[in-house]
Structure 1
Amino acid sequence: MTNSENGTAVPSADTLKSQAKRLRSAMAEKQTPITQSMALEAVARQWGYRDWNTLSAASKSNAPRGWYVGQRVFGSYLGHMFQGTLKAVRAAQGGYWYLTVVFDTAVDVIEFDSFSSFRKQVNVTLNEDGVTPGKTSNGLPHMELRAL
């Protein structure tokens, strides 16, 4: 997540593409279909950028170069925004990282109104963009992480 021209955190390119896909789907439901290109350009404008190429470059410009124990971080976990601290860090093959993240405030990992399960700490594997390779059923990464 990088800072856009309006100061708002920009998610990864995968998340932005998922937003475009959801926009296309919503427009089709309203009997106003749009192309993927049109959806990407609309997402770019929503984030305050002039076009998709500029937004895509901005989302990659702050890719993490490395993580360290004690580092303050923020991001999203299972769709919930959080801030926290890295408790354990280990570099892996192919640009991947194994991290233990301790949330400042516990995150509810259940999407069910009558049941909750809060987590204060999670272990994750992230790629070089700070994103988990695993995704939720709606196509979003389990976690996206950036340094504070």
Structure 2
Amino acid sequence: MTLRSIAEAKAQAKALRQALADQGTPIRQAEALERIARQNGARDWNTLHAQLSRSVIRDLRPQAPVQGYYLGLAFTGRIVALTKLGKTYRIKIKFDQPLDTVKFESFSNWRSQIQAVIGEDGCSPDLTSDGVPQLIVKGRSRQND
């Protein structure tokens, strides 16, 4: 499976639906979700949703190694702090290597540490302009340190 989150799957389904509509073959959102699920090896949308919903929070704790994507950039790092906020969590991550979060050649914005809110699935509710979570956090085995 190449998808990293439910939000990413829904964004792909929306793009598929729009592309098909532009070609004169409109489909319902439910059908688009089913097609995305099958393209990613799942039997149906409910199966894909369950696979993507598995909680990663239970494996995260301060000083635990993590990997993931921040603004589409792959990272590895360590959790500095993790605080429960109702159904979400505030996470602070120190990157192993700073990330340049600006895509312009004329200037840079290097980040060595970030703080964000994530859900049980390890994804931030805030999305980039292309519908992907700004932060996607996954645990990392200590063997990878």
Q: For the superposition of Structure 1 and Structure 2, which TM-score range results when normalised by the shorter chain? A: 0.7 to 0.9
Give the counterpart letter for 1:18 in structure 2. Answer: A
Partner of 2:143: none
- What are the Cα deviations for residues 64-107 of structure 1, in whole angstroms up to 9, with x where unaligned? 22631111112221122222211222223x13222211223332
**Runs of 5+ consecutive residues of structure 1 not aligned to the other structure:** 1-7
Judged with a 3 Å threshold, the aligned counterparts in structure 2 of structure 1 residues 138 and 9 are, in CA distance, closer, same or farther, namely closer
- Once the two structures are aligned, what percentage of the paired residues are identical? 39
What is the CA-CA distance between 1:10 and the residue it aligns to?
4.1
1:125 aligns with 2:88: no
Aligned partner of 1:47 among 40, 44, 66? 40
- Root-mean-square deviation (CA), in Å? 2.1
- d(CA) in 2 for partners of 1:29, 1:111: 30
Judged with a 3 Å threshold, the aligned counterparts in structure 2 of structure 1 residues 24 and 87 are, in CA distance, closer, same or farther, namely same
Aligned partner of 2:136 among 121, 127, 144? 144
Judged with a 3 Å threshold, the aligned counterparts in structure 2 of structure 1 residues 115 and 26 are, in CA distance, closer, same or farther, namely farther
Q: Which stretches of structure 1, 4 residues or longer, exceed 4 Å deviation after superposition?
A: none
- What are the Cα deviations for residues 118-138 of structure 1, in whole angstroms up to 9, with x where unaligned? 212111122223222222233
Could you state the TM-score of these two structures normalised by the residue count of structure 1?
A: 0.79
Task: Report the number of matched residues.
Answer: 140
- d(CA) in 1 for partners of 2:2, 2:64: 18
Alignment of 1:31-42 (within 5 A): 31-42=24-35
Could you state the TM-score of these two structures normalised by the residue count of structure 2?
A: 0.81
